[in-house]
Protein backbone atom coordinates (compact mmCIF):
# COMPACT_ATOMS: atom_id res chain seq x y z
CA UNK A 1 0.00 0.00 0.00
CA UNK A 2 1.08 3.61 -0.44
CA UNK A 3 3.49 5.26 1.97
CA UNK A 4 1.91 8.35 3.62
CA UNK A 5 5.15 10.39 3.32
CA UNK A 6 5.40 9.63 -0.41
CA UNK A 7 1.78 10.58 -0.93
CA UNK A 8 2.26 13.84 0.99
CA UNK A 9 5.26 14.70 -1.21
CA UNK A 10 3.23 14.06 -4.39
CA UNK A 11 5.13 10.90 -5.31
CA UNK A 12 3.12 8.03 -6.72
CA UNK A 13 4.34 4.78 -5.17
CA UNK A 14 4.29 1.49 -7.07
CA UNK A 15 1.32 -0.84 -6.47
CA UNK A 16 -1.01 2.04 -5.54
CA UNK A 17 -4.64 1.54 -6.64
CA UNK A 18 -5.94 4.01 -9.25
CA UNK A 19 -9.60 5.07 -9.32
CA UNK A 20 -11.56 7.36 -11.61
CA UNK A 21 -13.33 10.49 -10.40
CA UNK A 22 -16.45 8.32 -10.22
CA UNK A 23 -14.77 6.04 -7.64
CA UNK A 24 -14.55 3.12 -10.08
CA UNK A 25 -11.36 1.05 -9.99
CA UNK A 26 -9.14 1.83 -13.00
CA UNK A 27 -5.93 -0.11 -12.33
CA UNK A 28 -2.81 -0.40 -10.18
CA UNK A 29 0.42 1.58 -10.56
CA UNK A 30 3.30 -0.53 -11.85
CA UNK A 31 5.73 2.39 -12.04
CA UNK A 32 6.00 6.06 -12.91
CA UNK A 33 7.96 6.68 -16.09
CA UNK A 34 8.55 10.38 -16.65
CA UNK A 35 5.23 12.02 -17.47
CA UNK A 36 3.35 8.71 -17.63
CA UNK A 37 2.00 6.23 -15.12
CA UNK A 38 2.48 2.64 -16.23
CA UNK A 39 -0.25 0.35 -14.91
CA UNK A 40 0.28 -3.31 -14.03
CA UNK A 41 -0.84 -5.90 -16.54
CA UNK A 42 -1.83 -8.32 -13.78
CA UNK A 43 -4.66 -6.11 -12.54
CA UNK A 44 -8.03 -7.51 -13.67
CA UNK A 45 -8.99 -4.08 -15.11
CA UNK A 46 -5.91 -4.05 -17.38
CA UNK A 47 -6.96 -6.72 -19.84
CA UNK A 48 -3.57 -8.40 -19.44
CA UNK A 49 -1.50 -5.54 -20.95
CA UNK A 50 0.46 -2.62 -19.55
CA UNK A 51 -1.49 0.62 -20.03
CA UNK A 52 -0.07 4.15 -19.79
CA UNK A 53 -1.88 7.26 -18.62
CA UNK A 54 -0.49 10.80 -18.49
CA UNK A 55 0.37 12.02 -14.99
CA UNK A 56 -1.64 15.12 -15.84
CA UNK A 57 -4.81 13.04 -15.32
CA UNK A 58 -4.06 12.68 -11.59
CA UNK A 59 -6.38 14.87 -9.54
CA UNK A 60 -4.95 13.83 -6.20
CA UNK A 61 -3.39 11.24 -3.96
CA UNK A 62 -5.62 10.55 -1.00
CA UNK A 63 -6.15 7.67 1.36
CA UNK A 64 -3.53 5.49 -0.35
CA UNK A 65 -5.28 5.82 -3.71
CA UNK A 66 -4.49 7.71 -6.90
CA UNK A 67 -7.63 9.59 -7.90
CA UNK A 68 -8.00 10.64 -11.54
CA UNK A 69 -9.63 13.83 -12.80
CA UNK A 70 -12.06 11.89 -15.03
CA UNK A 71 -14.31 8.85 -14.71
CA UNK A 72 -12.63 5.45 -15.14
CA UNK A 73 -14.32 4.81 -18.50
CA UNK A 74 -13.04 8.10 -19.97
CA UNK A 75 -9.56 7.36 -18.57
CA UNK A 76 -9.61 4.00 -20.39
CA UNK A 77 -10.24 5.86 -23.63
CA UNK A 78 -7.36 8.27 -22.84
CA UNK A 79 -4.90 5.51 -21.95
CA UNK A 80 -2.57 3.82 -24.40
CA UNK A 81 -1.12 0.31 -24.44
CA UNK A 82 2.53 -0.69 -24.57
CA UNK A 83 2.55 -1.18 -28.36
CA UNK A 84 1.18 2.35 -28.87
CA UNK A 85 3.77 3.75 -26.46
CA UNK A 86 6.61 2.04 -28.36
CA UNK A 87 5.22 3.36 -31.65
CA UNK A 88 5.13 6.90 -30.26
CA UNK A 89 8.72 6.56 -29.07
CA UNK A 90 9.84 5.36 -32.50
CA UNK A 91 8.09 8.28 -34.25
CA UNK A 92 9.15 10.96 -31.76
CA UNK A 93 12.61 10.51 -30.20
CA UNK A 94 11.91 13.47 -27.89
CA UNK A 95 9.11 11.44 -26.30
CA UNK A 96 11.80 9.39 -24.54
CA UNK A 97 12.43 12.37 -22.31
CA UNK A 98 8.74 12.35 -21.36
CA UNK A 99 9.27 8.81 -20.14
CA UNK A 100 12.34 9.84 -18.21
CA UNK A 101 14.63 7.87 -20.53
CA UNK A 102 18.02 9.20 -21.55
CA UNK A 103 18.48 10.17 -25.15
CA UNK A 104 21.67 9.77 -27.15
CA UNK A 105 22.18 13.49 -27.85
CA UNK A 106 21.11 15.43 -30.94
CA UNK A 107 18.83 13.62 -33.37
CA UNK A 108 18.94 13.42 -37.12
CA UNK A 109 21.76 13.07 -39.61
CA UNK A 110 22.63 16.78 -39.68
CA UNK A 111 22.84 17.01 -35.90
CA UNK A 112 25.19 14.04 -35.73
CA UNK A 113 27.36 15.38 -38.57
CA UNK A 114 27.60 18.86 -37.04
CA UNK A 115 28.05 17.78 -33.44
CA UNK A 116 26.08 18.68 -30.36
CA UNK A 117 24.78 22.06 -29.30
CA UNK A 118 27.36 24.51 -28.04
CA UNK A 119 30.29 22.97 -29.96
CA UNK A 120 32.28 25.40 -32.07
CA UNK A 121 33.10 24.22 -35.52
CA UNK A 122 36.24 26.08 -36.71
CA UNK A 123 37.42 28.19 -33.82
CA UNK A 124 38.90 27.38 -30.49
CA UNK A 125 36.61 27.88 -27.51
CA UNK A 126 36.26 31.53 -26.58
CA UNK A 127 37.93 32.86 -29.75
CA UNK A 128 36.57 36.13 -31.11
CA UNK A 129 35.31 36.19 -34.66
CA UNK A 130 37.57 37.49 -37.41
CA UNK A 131 36.91 41.24 -37.84
CA UNK A 132 37.88 41.04 -41.55
CA UNK A 133 35.49 38.24 -42.35
CA UNK A 134 32.32 39.14 -44.30
CA UNK A 135 29.10 39.25 -42.32
CA UNK A 136 26.06 37.11 -43.09
CA UNK A 137 24.68 39.91 -45.23
CA UNK A 138 27.58 40.14 -47.68
CA UNK A 139 28.78 43.44 -46.23
CA UNK A 140 32.41 43.46 -45.15
CA UNK A 141 33.38 44.95 -41.82
CA UNK A 142 35.41 48.19 -42.06
CA UNK A 143 39.16 47.67 -41.71
pLDDT digits (tens, 9 = 90+) for 55-109: 999 999 988 899 999 999 999 999 999 989 888 888 876 655 555 554 444 444 4
Show the beta-strand stretches assigned E in 5-130. Answer: 17-19, 25-33, 36-39, 51-54, 58-62, 65-68, 80-81
Contact 19, 71 (CB under 8 A): no
pTM above 0.85, yes or no: no
For residue 43, being part of any structural domain is answered with yes
Question: What is the span of the domain harbouring residue 23?
Answer: 4-98
The count of domains in the chain is 1
Question: For the chain, what is the radius of gyration of the CA atoms?
Answer: 24
Give domain status of residue 136, yes or no: no
- Say if 48 falls within a structural domain: yes
CATH number at residue 60: 2.30.30.240
User: Does 11 fall in a domain?
Assistant: yes
Amino acid sequence: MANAADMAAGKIPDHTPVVGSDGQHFGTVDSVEGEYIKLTKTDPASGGVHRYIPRSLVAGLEGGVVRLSMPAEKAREASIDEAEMQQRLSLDPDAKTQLGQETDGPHGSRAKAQGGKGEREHRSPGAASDPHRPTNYGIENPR
